[in-house]
Amino acid sequence: METIYEALGVSRAVYEYGETVLASLKDRFAAIDQNAEYNQCKVLSAMQKNRVNATHFAATTGYGYDDEGRQNLERVYADVFHTEAALVRPQITCGTHALTVALSANLLPGDELLSPVGAPYDTLEEVIGIRESKCSLKEYGVTYAQADLKADGTFDYDAIRAKINDRTKLITIQRSKGYATRPSFSVAQIGELIAFCKGVKPDVKIMVDNCYGEFVERLEPSDLGADMVVGSLIKNPGGGLAPVGGYICGTSECVERCAYRLSAPGLGQEVGANLGLMPAFYQGLFLSPTVVSGALKGAVFAANVYEKLGFACVPNASEDRHDIIQAVTLGSKEGMEAFCKGIQAAAPVDSYVTPEPWAMPGYDSDVIMAAGAFVQGSSIELSADGPIRPPYAIYFQGGLTWYHAKLGILMSLQKMVDAGLIQL
């Protein structure tokens, strides 16, 4: 085994260090496998209930009228997430687009959007209008309020209560940490926050940005009262097979409005050709629990590898996991670049490319990104990225298999050693 890793560029010293770390992780990995087994049964049950068959894989074009495969997939998603309805479409281009559709469909001029979990992910700043942008919610008369987290990363319930008012129409909760070193929230924590907000204002709608969190736990935020859960198919639920797309699962009222916003008033879910993507969407969802379990093992391994070397990790080496992202604070631009070089060198696609920071659309800092993926921007595939700004944290995620995630972490460590940034 050492020989094949050496052929891939991992020195014997780095490999042996990794094996020492892995020896202590057997129980953690067993627990991850148990959750994957539960979620696999949940997905399989939804597919069997909705009698998935070969006719649901047929391609449609043009208007996409009477697309039974598309309609049945949405029933499957609704059953997996235990919601009244779902919108699952290749016409949703990314997670930010899915969130934009959900927000703009359910907020009207004069309404207020509230984030009770601090600042939103970078790409939503222009959607909301925190940073000026054409066609933002702010341009259409929607205001924004924010309750910051406490210093320990917990919810500030007094501040949240004070921010909720007569104009508060929708509350957005970001499950994952985004480009921040705060903890990601468990489904239980999100459920408590939903219950609190509904207690203050029963008719408020609550949307959860579920990106990176699907199938990490046995429950989803929709099981605990979220009116909408929203995500990208090139993250967890696409299982690495979906080449594009997004989903919105929730109440019939919310999803109907989202469909009207995505297509056109009066058309809604009746239009939207599947363009032959149904096999990838169905099979990707089927594989997702197993793929997510591999990514989780990689995240746990990464935290244990780097924390033992003195780097701050969020979550830390022993904490429970609520999404697939592992933040590692490397403390310098050079550290981020070396880490990303290792992830890129471990990729099946573009392994010969050197990642460089660049002005990525939607961000206010240069971003470095390593991703040799079969699907461009697929975060469920092995990748690492982060904005070049203090505290110089890198965000590692993905891995279609655990073994690929393992190689990526070992290669990142190798590049750090080669650059003289760490010593084993």
Cis peptide before 120 (omega within 30 of 0): no
What does 271-289 look like in DSSP terms, one character per residue?
----TT-HHHHHHHHHHHH
Q: Sign of the C-alpha dihedral, residues 138, 250, 153, 409?
A: negative
- Fold adopted by 2-40+286-418: Aspartate Aminotransferase, domain 1 (3.90.1150)
Residues 298, 126: Cα–Cα separation, whole Å? 32
- CA atoms of 297 and 301, how far apart (whole Å): 6
R_g (Cα) of the chain, nearest Å: 21
Q: How many Å apart are CA 108 and CA 137, to the nearest integer?
A: 9
CA neighbor of 52 nearest in space, from 281, 290, 288, 246: 281
CA distance 288 to 81: 14
Distances from the Cα of 399 to the Cαs of 71, 314, 374, in angstroms?
A: 30, 18, 12
Cis amide prior to 315 (ω within 30 degrees): yes
CA distance 230 to 248: 5
Secondary structure string (H, E, C) spanning 342-408: HHHHCCCCCCCCCCCCECCCCCCCCEEEECCCCCCCCCCCCEEEEECCCCCEEEEECCCCHHHHHHH
Q: What is the token pair recorded at 19?
A: 């094996």
Residue 40 C-beta-side C-alpha neighbours within 13 Å: 12
| Tokens representing residue 364 in the block | 């206010």
pLDDT at 56: 98
Q: What are the pLDDT tens digits along the chain (424 aa)?
A: 999 999 999 999 999 999 999 999 999 999 999 999 999 999 999 999 999 999 999 999 999 999 999 999 999 999 999 999 999 999 999 999 999 999 999 999 999 999 999 999 888 999 999 999 999 999 999 999 999 999 999 999 999 999 999 999 999 999 998 777 788 999 999 999 999 999 999 999 999 999 999 999 999 999 999 999 999 999 999 999 999 999 999 999 999 999 999 999 999 999 999 999 999 999 999 999 999 999 999 999 999 999 999 999 999 999 999 999 999 999 999 999 999 999 999 999 999 999 999 987 777 789 999 999 999 999 999 999 999 999 999 999 999 999 999 999 999 999 999 999 999 9
Residue type, 379: S
Predicted local confidence at residue 44, as pLDDT: 98
* CATH code reported for the domain at 58-276: 3.40.640.10
User: What are the extents of the domains in the chain?
Assistant: 2-40+286-418, 58-276
In DSSP notation, 305-328 reads HHHTTT-EEES-TTS--SSS-EEE
Q: How confident is the model at residue 220, as a pLDDT?
A: 98
Q: Identify the pLDDT of residue 156.
A: 98
* Other residues' Cβ atoms within 10 Å of the Cβ of residue 346: 26
Helix (H/G/I), strand (E/B), else coil: 172: strand
